[in-house]
Amino acid sequence: MNKFKYITSTTGNYNLLKQYAKDNRNTATEAESVLWNRIRARQLGVKFRRQHPISDYIADFVCLQLHLVIEVDGAYHYHGDVPENDAKRTEYLNQLGYSLVRFTNEEVIADIDNVILKLNQIIKDMNTTKQTSSSTGWSEPLQPDGQSTSPSGRRGRGMKIAVLAGDGIGPEIMEQGVAVMTAVCEKFGHSVSYKEALCGAHAIDEVGDPFPEETFQTCMEADAVLFASVGDPKFDNNPNAKVRPEQGLLAMRKKLGLFANIRPVETFDCLIHKSPLKDELVRGADFICIRELTGGMYFGEKKEGTDVAYDTNYYTRYEVERILRVAYQYAMQRRKHLTVVDKANVLASSRLWRAVAQEMAPEYPEVVTDYMYVDNAAMRMIQEPTFFDVMVTENTFGDILTDEGSCITGSMGLLPSASTGEHTPVFEPIHGSWPQAKGLNIANPLAQILSVAMLFEYFNLKEEGALIRQAVNASLDQNVRTPEIQVEGGARYGTREVGQWIVDYIKKA
Ligand X SMILES: NC(=O)c1ccc[n+]([C@@H]2O[C@H](COP(=O)([O-])OP(=O)(O)OC[C@H]3O[C@@H](n4cnc5c(N)ncnc54)[C@H](O)[C@@H]3O)[C@@H](O)[C@H]2O)c1
How far are the Cα atoms of 213, 229, 288 from residue 426, in angstroms, in the given order?
A: 17, 12, 16
**E strand intervals along 104-183:** 158-166
> CA 23 from chain center: how many Å?
32
CA distances from 381 to 388, 395, 398 (A): 8, 18, 13
Give the residue numbers marked as catalytic.
298, 343, 375, 399, 403
At closest approach, how far in Å is the CB of 173 from ligand X? 6
Shortest separation between residue 166's beta carbon and ligand X, angstroms: 6
| Nearest approach, Cβ of residue 431 and ligand X (Å) | 4
Interface residues with ligand X (CB under 6 A) are 169, 173, 229-232, 236, 246, 249, 413, 431-435, 443-444, 447, 484
- 155 versus 438: smaller Cβ distance to ligand X: 438
Helical ranges in 198-341 per DSSP H: 201-207, 213-221, 233-236, 245-255, 279-282, 317-333
Vertex 407: Cα angle to 405 and 413 (nearest 5)? 115
Cβ 425 to ligand X shortest distance, Å: 15
Dist CA 179 CA 312 (whole Å): 44
Judged by beta carbon, residue 69 or residue 430, the one nearer ligand X is 430
Helix/strand/coil for 485: helix
Is 192 or 443 the residue whose CB approaches ligand X more closely?
Answer: 443
Of residues 229 and 350, the one with the C-beta less far from ligand X: 229
Residues 292, 395: contact at Cβ < 8 Å? yes
CB of 418 within 8 A of CB of 193? no
Q: Which of 266, 201, 267, 199 is nearest to 231 (CA)?
A: 201
Please name the helix (run of DSSP H) or strand (run of DSSP E) that holds residue 10, with its range, or none.
none
In this structure, the strands spanning 302-304 and 309-311 are antiparallel
- What type of residue is 290? I
Nearest distance from residue 503's CB to ligand X, in Å?
Answer: 18
- Compute the chain's Rg from CA coordinates: 23
Q: Residues 400, 282: contact at Cβ < 8 Å?
A: no
Cα(150)–Cα(138) distance, integer angstroms: 25
Task: Select 343 or 431, whichever has its Cβ closest to ligand X.
Answer: 431
Smallest separation (angstroms) from ligand X to the CB of 115 = 42
Q: How far apart are CA 269 and CA 409, in angstroms?
A: 10
CB nearer to ligand X: give 108 or 447.
Answer: 447
Query: 432 φ, ψ to 5°?
Result: -95, -155
> 27 or 417: whose CB is closer to ligand X?
417
